[in-house]
Amino acid sequence: MSKSMMEELENAGNAFREALDQYLDVCSKMDHLSLRQGVPRHIPQSYLDKLHAEIAHSPSHASKLQRTEAIVGRIRNRVAQITPIASLPLEILGHIFHLVAKPCDLVPSNLGESNSNSGFSTPTKPNHVINTCSHWRRTAITLPSLWTHIDILPHKLHQSGFVARAETYVTRAAQLPIELHIADTSPFKYDSAPFGRFLSSISTRVQSLDMAAIHGREPFHNFIFAKLFSSDGSQSICTNLTTNFAKAHYIIDDFLDCFDVIDNTFHFTALRLRGLFPGWNSKVYSNLVDLRLLTAPRDDRWTQIPEHKLRNLLEASPRLKIFHFSLQITDQQLGDTPPNPVRLDDLEVLGISTYRDPFDAILQPGYVLRLLAPGSKPLQLSIRHDFQVFDPYDDDAEEIYVHVDEFSLDELVKFFQRSNLTRFCVKDRCPQLGRLLSYAPNLEDLALDSFEFSLTADNPLRHGGSCRLNSLILLKCYLSVDQMDLFLKHCPADLLTLFKCRLHSEEGLFVKGESVERLPKLLERYPATKLIFQSSNPTACWDVID
């Protein structure tokens, strides 16, 4: 707030109070005059109309006064001297502590980069909250929900302390369910006896388990599963299992034998698996609402699953809402008769990724799409796949041959036809985009990530009609203003969002100011479109497959 604004408020307030006093004085004089004897009770109709008008305006005066009081009150309450953080109610302070304590600062990719003592640091959230002051400490310790997330790192430097720290968190969490996050570290050391007793003591309270296999210590992971899950799993309340195999140069088995049970006595509803999986015949793949089967990052290998077993997994979870997939499908059913798709009436989010290397696209999205038949619910689809495939070639060849993945494009069209697609995010090259969009009449939001545009006869929109979008999002795209014009002509949007895009002209790249100047001129032809340059990823909340 500037000095001039405060002076403006003061002057307006003084003028308002002076006018209000004058208005009240006039009304009072008229009131006294109307009570005097001898004053005629009949007045001209125009006077009566003026009195009616004043009465009619009175409610709006009262409403505006209430709004003014509320606005000034909000401004005052935002001033730090009026509402210091220490005076906030416990509920509000608790919400602030939760925001500070999340997200979890145990990141597998970061841990995997360090093999030394100097590069290691223990998770600090929410300990730094209680170390701020005595009032915050007392408040935080009385909030059980703040201590339900427990990170365990069996590092050589802290082997005697991590169990004690975890036990303290469990005590502070009271009887609430626990989120357990465990990762192996380097240098690696732990005492199995106290650690095993701790795991057994909380086995019936762990609702969410996140297991990061960073250094390939398979016996350690098996030890944890054995302590947390009894032989039949009947005592477990765990509904969410997350695995993450972070480093590719450790060769370990992709599959976890501990979940090979005959009957599904586990209670999982969400399996988010990256690089480590229960065996494909396991009954834990039943009655899921969230299933993510992803190859480990930075892994040259592709975990394989036969097509008929993938189909079995889908059929075992008819209420599935979220499905992410980036494995290699083997033993596909060939021939002119494709398999019947699995009906998934509740499916809302689907993500497929083939990202590894442009010369090594083992997975064709079409083999996943043909297995799925979504219901009528609005569906979000994200695909990370280059539909222009590089053919294998010999090192002596002078040219690299490229062909279009027609099979996947055809399956994508069929999938659009049997889905209620409302959000679509595609990364890399996608020819015939216009053809695809013509089969998505209910599409509201379109996101193009690292998309290649063309104004040639092969431009991706040439086969389709136009579709009206709520939002068009361009991420890390390289395009010209003319190409933007072409796109808005085919896909007019209420909101156009640009994130890390590079704009160019025939002569080369625009400088930043020139690109900002040219786009509003373009949008003068599209007055219904609002332009936003966004500094953070606008699809971060979409749950797009990475």
CA–CA separation, 27 vs 29, rounded Å? 6
Instruction: Point out the least confidently predicted range of 112-116, 338-342, 362-366.
Output: 112-116
Confidence of residue 186 (pLDDT cuts 50, 70, 90): low
Does 486 score more than 60 pLDDT? yes
| Residue boundaries of the structural domains of the chain | 88-108+123-285
Does 512 score more than 80 pLDDT? no
Rounded average pLDDT over 397-401: 57
Name the CA dihedral angle for 338, 342, 345, 347, rounded to a multiple of 10 degrees: -90
Alpha helices in 78-186 (DSSP H): 90-101, 108-113, 127-130, 134-141, 162-172
223 or 158, greater pLDDT: 223
CB atoms under 10 Å from CB of 435, counted, come to 18
In percent, how much of the chain has pLDDT > 90? Answer: 35
Residue 507: predicted pLDDT: 56
* pLDDT single digits (tens) 403-439: 788 899 999 999 999 999 999 999 887 878 888 888 9
Rounded average pLDDT over 170-196: 85
What phi, psi does 127 have (nearest 5°)?
-60, -35
Cis upstream peptide for 187 (omega within 30°): yes
Q: If residue 23 lies in a helix (H) or strand (E), which one and from where to where?
A: helix 3-35
Residue 353: predicted pLDDT: 92
CA–CA separation, 254 vs 216, rounded Å? 11
Does 158 score more than 60 pLDDT? yes
| Overall pTM surpassing 0.85 (yes/no) | no
Strand stretches in 334-466, DSSP E? 342-344, 349-353, 372-374, 379-384, 388-390, 402-404, 421-427, 445-449
CA–CA separation, 137 vs 150, rounded Å? 18
CA–CA separation, 99 vs 101, rounded Å? 6
Confidence of residue 192 (pLDDT cuts 50, 70, 90): confident
Rounded average pLDDT over 492-511: 76
Residue 154: predicted pLDDT: 78
Residue 318 corresponds to which tokens in the numbers above? 């008819």
Residues 472 and 437: beta-carbon distance below 8 Å: no
Structural Rg of the chain based on CA atoms: 32
Alpha helices in 125-211 (DSSP H): 127-130, 134-141, 162-172, 192-202
Task: Tell me which residue of 103, 181, 112, 168 sits closest to 141, measured CA to CA.
Answer: 168
CA–CA separation, 227 vs 210, rounded Å? 15
Rounded average pLDDT over 265-288: 91
Residue 102 corresponds to which tokens in the numbers above? 């999340």
CA–CA separation, 170 vs 147, rounded Å? 7
Instruction: Point out the least confidently predicted range of 59-63, 159-163, 477-481.
Output: 159-163
Three-state SS at 71: helix
Does 474 score more than 70 pLDDT? yes
Does 399 score more than 80 pLDDT? no
Does 137 score more than 70 pLDDT? yes
CA 328 vs. chain centroid, Å, equals: 25
DSSP 332: P
Confidence of residue 222 (pLDDT cuts 50, 70, 90): confident
Does 464 score more than 60 pLDDT? no
Task: Tell me which residue of 297, 286, 346, 356 sits closest to 320, measured CA to CA.
Answer: 346
Highest mean pLDDT pick, 42-46, 51-55, 142-146, 418-422: 418-422
Rounded average pLDDT over 454-474: 68
CA–CA separation, 81 vs 59, rounded Å? 35
Beta strand pairing call for 493-499 and 502-505: unpaired
Strand stretches in 354-427, DSSP E? 372-374, 379-384, 388-390, 402-404, 421-427
198 or 254, greater pLDDT: 198
Instruction: Point out the least confidently predicted range of 239-253, 447-461, 465-479, 485-499.
Output: 447-461
* pLDDT single digits (tens) 58-109: 888 888 888 898 898 888 877 766 667 777 777 888 888 888 777 666 655 5
The secondary structure of 242-285 as a DSSP string is EEEE--TTS---SEEGGG--SS-----SEEEEES-EE-TT-TTS
Name the CA dihedral angle for 365, 370, 374, 375, rounded to a multiple of 10 degrees: 160
Residue 443 pairs with which residues in a beta bridge?
none
Does 305 score more than 50 pLDDT? yes
Residues 474 and 450: beta-carbon distance below 8 Å: no
Three-state SS at 52: helix
Rounded average pLDDT over 152-163: 75
CA 265 vs. chain centroid, Å, equals: 31
Residue 258: predicted pLDDT: 76
Highest mean pLDDT pick, 216-225, 236-245, 386-395, 424-433: 236-245
Residue 388: predicted pLDDT: 79
DSSP 452: B
Task: Tell me which residue of 424, 475, 428 sits closest to 445, measured CA to CA.
Answer: 424
Rounded average pLDDT over 222-228: 87
